[in-house]
Chains A and B, each alone.
Chain A
């Protein structure tokens, strides 16, 4: 069975600085998707970034980028120029390429210090 592990329950970063959230996963599959979701107090899960496992190039979305290390089964999220609105829970997630279920980690709460 696939598992997703986030080892940092909470992190803090100064506004305008850069922060990296860690995620490792376990799978025997070769084709899958990885995601980072943001969950603000409104509770809605918002997709931040997604990575296809077959793509070697790391995904980027504006201030958000990932470091995808397939052999190490590592998928970290880097947030550059942190803003107050980035404060939220961040979940790393996995989905098999041929499946529909998303498997989430336990989340990392990110605090932005003004």
Chain B
């Protein structure tokens, strides 16, 4: 596709519910990133994939957060047993070569845990 596509655009979850957020990167982009943006804050790094390999997951806040990219294209960020502090916008970005082309961000999924 022409851009990075994220779905759903909005998600309301009851506390304790599991959620799955999807990211469709630009075709051919080998690098994929997830960021978490709390209200009124800048995005914070969660995890990074190069193709299907998860090379850095240092930003995942707890073991309730899990990300995968099994075929090196679409990625899913899963949050188990959601809590109110998980409420945020989750942004996905992809890149062919960061130094040359930079990153392309999606429009994010706004997660609200009630």
A binds B: yes
How many residues of A are counted as interface, with CB atoms below 8 angstroms from the partner's CB atoms?
20
Interface residues of A in 42-60 (CB under 8 A from B): 42-47, 50
- Min CB–CB distance A4 → chain B (angstroms): 8
Check: B25 CB closer than 8 A to any chain A CB: no
Check: B31 CB closer than 8 A to any chain A CB: yes
Residue of B nearest to A93 (CB): B42
B45: chain A residues at CB < 8 Å are 101-103
B28: chain A residues at CB < 8 Å are none
Interface bracket on B: 20 to 34
Bound: A1/B107 CA distance, A: 28
B48: chain A residues at CB < 8 Å are 100-101
Contact among B43, B99, B110 with A104 in the assembled complex (CB-CB below 8 Å): B43
- Chain A contact surface mostly: loop
A44: chain B residues at CB < 8 Å are 105-108
Bound: A46/B105 CA distance, A: 7
Contact call B42/A105, Cβ cutoff below 8 A? yes
Check: B1 CB closer than 8 A to any chain A CB: no
Q: Which residues of B contact A (CB under 8 A)?
A: 31, 33, 35, 40-45, 48, 56, 59, 89, 91, 93, 98-99, 102-103, 105-108, 110
Can you offer 26 A-B residue contacts whose CB atoms are under 8 A?
Answer: A4-B42, A43-B107, A43-B108, A43-B110, A44-B106, A44-B107, A44-B108, A45-B43, A45-B91, A45-B93, A45-B105, A46-B105, A50-B102, A91-B42, A91-B43, A97-B99, A100-B31, A100-B98, A102-B33, A102-B103, A104-B43, A104-B44, A105-B42, A106-B41, A106-B42, A107-B42
